[in-house]
Amino acid sequence: MDRNWLTNFGSALCMALVLLVAGAPVQAASKVTCPNKVIDVQTVTGTYLGWFEAEEGLNTIGIQVQGEDNPVYIGASEEEAQKFFGNAAGQQVSVTWQVEQIWLEDMQECLRLEVLKEGHPLAAARQVSSVRVAPGKYEYLSTDKNASGELQLSAPDQSGKMAVAIETVTTRHFHTCEFSGLCTLRDDMLICRSTDSDIPEDPDAYVGIRVLKHGLEVVHHQSMWCGMRGTMEGFYMQ
């Protein structure tokens, strides 16, 4: 048998298979492949951060789950947020949401959304924290020899909120941070929100202060309260 003929036949066959596969139509997403349905249901407990209206897209509620760095955002209307949580911002709540698959005919897109199903504030007895926070002045500790600062914490008022003021100066270029607000104690964390009315309503716009046995640790804040390269995160001791 002519080996050249066999080689040419094999090459032609491979090329035909490549063209056949390349030319096969790819099935696009459609209402058939993306039916509207509930994919999953989840329940968590955490600190309720409130309801937030989006400029575009889905309005949400925010939940800060203990041990997680970032809040969980769940789609919800203002009426739903008020129905299930009322004025429970800063309190521990239980939240159940479902992951919904939705086909958008106009945009020809398949979306998956996390949507509030139900929830409620936890019993008042479970809200009480065994952690005690000493009011007073705390000095900022840092490995940066040029850093300095302090945290002033007031005694709780009748509603249980504590006023806080934080000022720090870090790095040799004297980058500063400054924050004042009201804090609510939940478990071992102070959730502090600014009293400045110009601060935008944002679930991440808070200072998180962990209560330690012998001091405090700022573990979360936004850059809006600091100059370039400034930080208030770190330990504070009385």
The CA distances from residue 152 to 133, 134, 137, 164, 238, in Å, are 12, 11, 5, 6, 10
| Beta pairing class for 92-104 and 60-64 | unpaired
For each of the chain's 238 residues, which pLDDT tens digit applies? 444 433 443 444 343 333 333 333 333 567 788 888 888 888 988 888 888 888 777 899 989 887 787 888 999 999 999 999 987 777 888 999 999 888 888 888 898 888 998 999 886 544 445 668 889 999 998 766 778 899 999 999 888 899 999 999 887 667 889 999 999 988 788 999 988 877 767 777 889 998 987 789 888 888 888 888 788 888 898 8
Can you give the pTM of this predicted structure?
A: 0.47
Name the CATH topology of 37-127.
OB fold (Dihydrolipoamide Acetyltransferase, E2P) (2.40.50)
Residues near 50 by beta carbon (within 8 Å), at least 6 away in sequence: 61, 62, 81, 89, 201, 203
**CA 64 to the chain's CA centroid:** 7
Length of the chain: 238
Task: Give CA–CA dist 162/192, Å, rounded.
Answer: 9
* 104 bridge partner residues: 109
